[in-house]
Amino acid sequence: MTAFEPWSEERTSSIVAAHTHLEGPLMPILHAIQEAFGFVPEAAIPVIARDLNLSRAEVHGVVTFYHDFRREPAGRKIIKVCRAEACQSMGCESLVKHAEDRLGIECGGTTADGRVTFETIYCLGLCATAPSAMVDGKIIGRLDTAKLDKILSETGA
Partner 1 sequence: MTIRIFIPRDAAAVACGADDIARAIAAATQKAKLKADIVRNGSRGMLWLEPLMEVEDNGVRYAFGPMTEADASKIVASLAKTPASKIKHALALGPTEQIPFFKKQTRLTFARCGITDPVSLADYEAHGGYKGLERALAIKPIEIVEEVTKSGLRGRGGAGFPTGIKWKTVHDTPMGQQKYIVCNADEGDSGTFADRMIMEGDPYVLVEGMTIAGIAVGATKGYIYLRSEYPHAEIALNEAIRNARAAGLLGPNVAGSAHAFDLEVRMGAGAYVCGEETSLLESLEGKRGLVRAKPPLPAHKGLFGQPTVINNVLSLAAIPYILSEGAKAYYDYGMGRSRGTMPIQLAGNIKHGGLFETAFGISLGELVDDIGGGTHSGRAVKAVQVGGPLGAYFPRSHFDTPFDYEAFAARDGLIGHAGVVVFDDTANMAKQARFAFHFCAAESCGKCTPCRIGAVRGRETMDKIIAGQNTDANLAVVEDLCNTMKFGSLCALGGFTPYPVSSALNHFPEDFGRPARKLPAAAE
The residues binding partner 1 (CB under 8 A) are: 23-28, 30-31, 58, 61-62, 65-69, 82, 84-90, 121-130, 132, 134, 137, 139-142
- For partner 1, the closer of residues 4 and 69 by Cβ is 69
Helices 92-103 and 145-154: crossing angle, nearest 10°? 30
- For partner 1, the closer of residues 28 and 114 by Cβ is 28
User: CA 29, CA 16: separation in Å to the nearest integer?
Assistant: 6
User: CA 37, CA 102: separation in Å to the nearest integer?
Assistant: 29
Minimal distance in Å, beta carbon 61 to partner 1? 5
Quote the Cα angle for 71-77-81, to 5°. Answer: 85
- For partner 1, the closer of residues 28 and 156 by Cβ is 28
Minimal distance in Å, beta carbon 143 to partner 1? 9
49: helix, coil or strand?
helix
